[in-house]
Chain A
Amino acid sequence: MAKLRIGAKALPFNLPGVDGTNHSLEGYSGKDAVVVIFSCNHCPYVRAWEDRMVKIQRDYASSGVQLVAINANDAAKYPEDSFPNMKERAREKHFNFPYLHDERQEVARAYGAERTPEVFLFDKTASLRYHGVIDDNYDDPTAVKVNYLRDALDAVLSGTPPETMETKPVGCSIKWK
């Protein structure tokens, strides 16, 4: 389980993005919700879910929601997860959110992330309100029964606690150095 507990404050980060600029948590302080997703290139679970990540950002952008994807995988052992390949993936899939490189793996370790994808949803006070999976069906988007992240976002934006605050992340393990 993640080190960060429900209700805990978001931990600061400042990481290079595929857009050529650095992104910090502080930079999103005006947002009503920030969704940090530990992600990567090579993992088929991420690839199964990434169109849904793009759609969530699109659907919730006007409500003050910001998705941020962070790749902490060791690119020496998993070359598909290198920074140049991250740039390529973001371009290919038309990512509408920052895709950041946690090369030293410090942010992933600080958050206690273990899987990709793994979601941490923070409200406007930067408190963790939901942690876990995006929804309940990685394999088939048409067969999703529970949209955990969307439901949690709806709750957070309306100022109420999400019905489900934690689910077990499902995906590839983060590839540590």
Chain B
Amino acid sequence: MKVRFLYSEDCPSHEEALRRLRNVLEEERVAPDLEIVRVDTLEEAEKERFPGSPTIMVDGHDICPTQNSHYAPACRAYVLEDGRVSPLPSVAMIRDAIRAAKENLKSTVKNR
């Protein structure tokens, strides 16, 4: 499994988001190839197609797909399960994405 954690230093939520991600990986007993990518400029944001900080990609998929095509080193808004807006993805969002990737891996191995 490949996990990319993209963040902007300017946005203060990234430390807590990374802590949540690491906790979920530990709980799910997954040791992915974890890449941490810092995005600080508009050019870097466009290159990475970065919709805001923090962004977590699991096997190439955003854990919370967005229609936002404005790429910038800004904080990202997550709409939580209860409708609130937060600068952080919820633990459930991260967990669901990791579990889905685990299932995909299992079925890929099975079908070989």
- Taking CB atoms and an 8 Å cut-off, the chain B residues in 68-110 that contact chain A are 70, 72, 74-78, 84-88
* A43 and B84 contacting across the interface, CB-CB below 8 Å: no
Residue of B nearest to A139 (CB): B86
Contacts of A45 in B (CB 8 A): 75, 87
| Segment touching B, from A23-31, A97-105, A151-159, A167-175 | A167-175
* A173 and B84 contacting across the interface, CB-CB below 8 Å: no
Please indicate which of the listed interface residues B42, B72, B75, B86 has the most CB atoms of chain A within 10 Å of its own CB: B75
Contacts of B72 in A (CB 8 A): 77-78
Tell me if B12 counts as interface (CB < 8 A to partner A).
yes
Tell me, rounded to whole Å, the shortest Cβ–Cβ distance linking B87 to chain A: 4
- The answer for the CA separation of A78 and B74 in the assembled complex, in Å, is 9
Tell me if B10 counts as interface (CB < 8 A to partner A).
yes
Residue of B nearest to A141 (CB): B84
Tell me if B11 counts as interface (CB < 8 A to partner A).
yes
* Per-position 1/0 for A113-149, Cβ under 8 A of B: 0000000000000000000000000110000000000
Please indicate which of the listed interface residues B10, B76, B77, B88 has the most CB atoms of chain A within 10 Å of its own CB: B77
Tell me if A80 counts as interface (CB < 8 A to partner B).
yes
* B78 and A44 contacting across the interface, CB-CB below 8 Å: yes
Binding site for A on B (CB under 8 A): 10-13, 42, 70, 72, 74-78, 84-88
Closest 9 CB pairs of A and B: A44-B77, A44-B87, A47-B85, A172-B75, A173-B10, A44-B75, A48-B85, A139-B86, A45-B87
